[in-house]
Amino acid sequence: MATAASSGGPSDHQYVSVKLESPRLAALDLAPHLFGSHPAAGSWDPSKALPMERAAAAIWELSCVLPSRHETLDFKLLLKPKADSSECIVEEGPNRPLGCGSNQVEMTDAVFKLAEKDSLECKVWVETEMLSPFDLAASWKAHQENLQPSRVRGTYDVVMNTETEARDENDFASGLELDLEKYVVPTTPNMGSGVVYAANLTENPRSLLDTGISPNNLIKGDAPLNHYANTKKDVDGRHTPSQEEQKAVFVDRGVGSPRFARPTNETVSTSNIKQDSETKLGMPAAEGAVAAAAVADQMYGPKEDRKLVIVLVGLPARGKTFTAAKLTRYLRWLGHETKHFNVGKYRRLKHGTNQTADFFRGDNKEGVEARNEVAALAMEDMLSWMEEGGQVGICDATNSTRSRRNMLMKMAEGKCKIIFVETICNDQDVLERNIRLKVQQSPDYAEQTDFEAGVRDFKERLAYYEKVYEPVDEGSYIKMIDMVSGNGGQLQINNISGYLPGRIVFFLVNCHLTPRPILLTRHGESLDNVRGRIGGDSSLSEVGEVYSRKLASFVEKRLKSERTASIWTSTLQRTILTAQPIIGFPKIQWRALDEINAGVCDGMTYDEVKKNKPEEYESRRKDKLRYRYPRGESYLDVIQRLEPVIIELERQRAPVVVIAHQAVLRSLYAYFADKPLEEVPKIEIPLHTIIEIKMGVTGVEEKRYKLMDAVNPTAEV
């Protein structure tokens, strides 16, 4: 027996594969089955035994996924006649035990007594492997690409129904005006329909804040820094905030101080969670209050590796800022304190926005020194922020020469780990689109009235960069080669190890720029919504059934030309029933989309919780994000289990309709909107409203459709 030991994490699951090989069995009128102590395996009832599927001429297989902390299970193999399954032949010998928490492959024999003097010997392989949620999502990806239902039994992530029904032309879902725009309602302030230049949303240069210039004014092409050095007012006479005032604004926006307190040692306790230096408020002693990245803290390894700098490398218009923005949003959502430092923003603040292509020539000594200076300023700000508690800094610039990269590595030496992420694009159509988009949006061309002249200037700048460009071949790096076009591409990695770098690689390999909508909506009103009860698995009310039909009508009209779209629901019946009237699209059930587990409070009203469990009620009120229901979940737990869903949403190139629950949709929406974790439990996700998220090269945009009003108040989760 060959064994590779591996302990599973708290969210890992155990994959089990049982294979049976017998050339003789193929000629017999017998079918192999498996039964055992677990209810899913029939609880030792032969009539409920699980059939093994034929994988080859003489090989049968059965696979399943079990929780990593399951009790030891026993099972045996049996043979059933194909014509009469009432009689069966159980293998000889003791029960086969199935442990947990390790990876192993075991090969044994199975003997079946066919008659008094006739026995059948078979080879049996039992393989067990610990799977993370990433592995489960990747496994589902393979099934989805083949458009076949999963053969893995008990997989908690997804159940697929790929059948696409057809509706008669006269049998439409009912009830919506043909003009869907009539149902549009205002969006939340954090995401709108306008296009925003991504670099303007990055970290403000605090090393330059004492100059008295507001970085936001540079969007309009203000003069360079030295024009403002001796004044505390802008040219139009308006007051410019002081450094202290700007810091206060940053805190308000979740920039100036850690938005998510993290434990400082391996013991997870509310007393170990770092206090926000601005508020000095005590953390509530909620039962089960934890930090989302506590497990990560224990897995980082050496102390200097706990601080990570991602240095973008690449020629202009290769999607560096887009990649940096997506990485920043993803890591923040997971609870890692992350900031995005755009060197171009520093350059515009220091030297103005009216630099021509000559400023970027490789033989322009003053220009090279000026660009290296602002790169060093951004790096200094990043390292200072890390000393204050920051974890991941993203340096967004061309960083196109080895000398520039060596400068950054020298500055980071002994303070943090550096990983270079190089973006390479050889698709001329994509480059032309990116160049024109850059000129249209960049503050560098805000005062350029001749668009085509701006395009020519940018292409000249690009040519200067190409002359001196040196691809990355030093240190730890990730190369993304032609990955944005949606036609394959490569991801090359070198000297990448560790927990967080591994997650970053997994995320980047699934990212692309293909525009597509993602529709988020809660299930129709349920009977428990009407009663004000938490959780449960109730069916829809009459109002909820009306919404399900209206939603079907909306989806069929909105996605009429998108035949590759899919419908995702949880495994709870109120989402499945809401999706039922929708036809023409495959439907996929994710257990990861199930509502937050309310534990012992499931099925109660909040008045009952307040009356019968006042301590729990008060703990939850004080810290809704970290509060974990007894025997249930917290919002942070929900975010962690939703990570495979986010990865798969990023990977999808076709529209997806997600029908889920309030806490789950709050968490998903927070990812797309880049909302601070502390705000997740407060996000408004009303019933009977569709939130359309548009993902593409210009970033993330939002549109909301309200199909009908909710008649009854709903229980808050």
For residue 37, the model assigns a pLDDT of 83
| Distance in angstroms (rounded) separating the CA atoms of residues 414 and 374 | 22
308: domain CATH number is 3.40.50.300
Q: Which of 255-269, 535-549, 552-566, 594-608 has the lowest mean pLDDT?
A: 255-269
**Is residue 198 predicted with pLDDT exceeding 80?**
no
Beta sheet of 53-56, edge-to-edge order: 2-4, 103-115, 118-131, 13-21, 59-67, 53-56
Domain boundary among 142, 163, 198: 142
Residues 355 and 501 in one domain: yes
DSSP state letter for 362: T
Is 100 in the active site? Answer: no
For residue 232, the model assigns a pLDDT of 34
51: domain CATH number is 2.60.40
Three-state DSSP at 174 gives: coil
- The residue-averaged pLDDT of 287-311 equals 53
Contacts by 622-626, CB closer than 8 A, 24 or more apart: 622/284, 622/286, 623/283, 623/284, 623/286, 623/289, 624/681, 624/682, 625/677, 625/678, 625/680, 625/681, 626/270, 626/283, 626/284, 626/286, 626/289, 626/290, 626/291
Share of the chain above pLDDT 70, in %: 70
**Is residue 197 predicted with pLDDT exceeding 60?**
no
* Domain total in the chain: 3
634: domain CATH number is 3.40.50.1240
Residues 39 and 20 in one domain: yes
Q: Give residue-wise pLDDT tens across range 664-711.
A: 999 999 999 999 999 999 999 999 999 999 877 667 889 999 998 766
Catalytic residue of the set 33, 523, 661, 688: 523
For residue 16, the model assigns a pLDDT of 79
**Is residue 310 predicted with pLDDT exceeding 90?**
yes
Residues 519 and 502 in one domain: no
Beta sheet of 656-660, edge-to-edge order: 158-161, 587-590, 566-569, 656-660, 516-522, 689-696, 699-706, 184-185
**Is residue 297 predicted with pLDDT exceeding 80?**
no
- Residue 695 inside a domain? The answer is yes
Residues 481 and 615 in one domain: no
**Is residue 620 predicted with pLDDT exceeding 80?**
yes
For residue 194, the model assigns a pLDDT of 47
DSSP readout, 617-663? HHHHHH-TTT---TTS--HHHHHHHHHHHHHHHHH--S-EEEEE-HH
Residues 543 and 605 in one domain: yes
Q: Give residue-wise pLDDT tens across range 46-80.
A: 888 888 888 777 888 887 766 555 566 788 999 99
Q: List beta partners, residue 701.
A: 694
Is 523 in the active site? Answer: yes
DSSP readout, 539-552? -B-HHHHHHHHHHH
| Distance in angstroms (rounded) separating the CA atoms of residues 520 and 80 | 47
Amino acid present at 205 = P
Amino acid present at 678 = E
- The residue-averaged pLDDT of 200-225 equals 52
How many CB atoms sit inside 10 A of residue 109's CB? Answer: 11
Residues 538 and 503 in one domain: no
Domain that holds residue 464: 302-508
- Residue 717 inside a domain? The answer is no
For residue 716, the model assigns a pLDDT of 57
Residues 329 and 457 in one domain: yes
- Residue 207 inside a domain? The answer is no
DSSP state letter for 272: G
For residue 131, the model assigns a pLDDT of 62
For residue 313, the model assigns a pLDDT of 97
- Residue 528 inside a domain? The answer is yes
**Is residue 139 predicted with pLDDT exceeding 90?**
no
534 token code pair: 């938490």
- Residue 437 inside a domain? The answer is yes
Phi, psi of 425, deg, nearest 5: -135, 125
Catalytic residue of the set 457, 528, 594, 595: 595
- The residue-averaged pLDDT of 521-545 equals 94
How many CB atoms sit inside 10 A of residue 236's CB? Answer: 6
- Residue 389 inside a domain? The answer is yes
For residue 326, the model assigns a pLDDT of 92
Q: Which of 100-114, 203-217, 306-320, 345-359 has the lowest mean pLDDT?
A: 203-217
**Is residue 298 predicted with pLDDT exceeding 70?**
no
Residues 603 and 699 in one domain: yes
Q: What is the residue-averaged pLDDT of the chain?
A: 77
Is 425 in the active site? Answer: yes
HSE-CB of 292 using CA atoms within 13 angstroms: 25
Catalytic residue of the set 337, 396, 528, 650: 396
For residue 353, the model assigns a pLDDT of 84
Q: Give residue-wise pLDDT tens across range 79-90.
A: 998 877 678 899
- Residue 43 inside a domain? The answer is yes
Catalytic residue of the set 100, 122, 425, 511: 425
**Is residue 331 predicted with pLDDT exceeding 60?**
yes
| Distance in angstroms (rounded) separating the CA atoms of residues 491 and 479 | 6
For residue 695, the model assigns a pLDDT of 77
Domain boundary among 142, 157, 180: 142
Share of the chain above pLDDT 90, in %: 48
- The residue-averaged pLDDT of 29-53 equals 84
Q: Which of 197-201, 392-396, 563-567, 627-631 has the lowest mean pLDDT?
A: 197-201
Phi, psi of 474, deg, nearest 5: -120, 150
Residues 591 and 495 in one domain: no
Q: What is the CA radius of gyration of the chain?
A: 29
Phi, psi of 511, deg, nearest 5: -90, 150
Residues 572 and 499 in one domain: no
- The residue-averaged pLDDT of 326-349 equals 93
Diameter of the chain by CA atoms? 105
180-198 residues labelled b (16+ CB within 10 A) or e (exposed): beebeeebeeebeeeeebb
Domain boundary among 485, 508, 531: 508
pTM over 0.85: no
139 token code pair: 């496994």
245 versus 346: which is more confidently predicted? 346
Residues 488 and 549 in one domain: no
**Is residue 250 predicted with pLDDT exceeding 50?**
no
Q: Which of 54-63, 175-184, 546-555, 583-592 has the lowest mean pLDDT?
A: 175-184
Residues 24 and 97 in one domain: yes
365 token code pair: 């000594």
H/E run at residue 418: strand 417-424
- The residue-averaged pLDDT of 640-664 equals 93
| Distance in angstroms (rounded) separating the CA atoms of residues 457 and 361 | 12
- Residue 686 inside a domain? The answer is yes
For residue 578, the model assigns a pLDDT of 96
Is 595 in the active site? Answer: yes
- The residue-averaged pLDDT of 92-99 equals 85
DSSP readout, 364-403? -HHHHHHHHHHHHHHHHHHHHHHHTT--EEEEES---SHH
469-502 residues labelled b (16+ CB within 10 A) or e (exposed): eeebeeebbbbbebbbeeeebeeebeeeebbbbe
Cβ atoms of residues 715 and 534 within 8 Å = yes
Cβ atoms of residues 291 and 266 within 8 Å = no
Local confidence band at 45 (pLDDT 50, 70, 90 cut-offs):
confident
214 token code pair: 């507001």
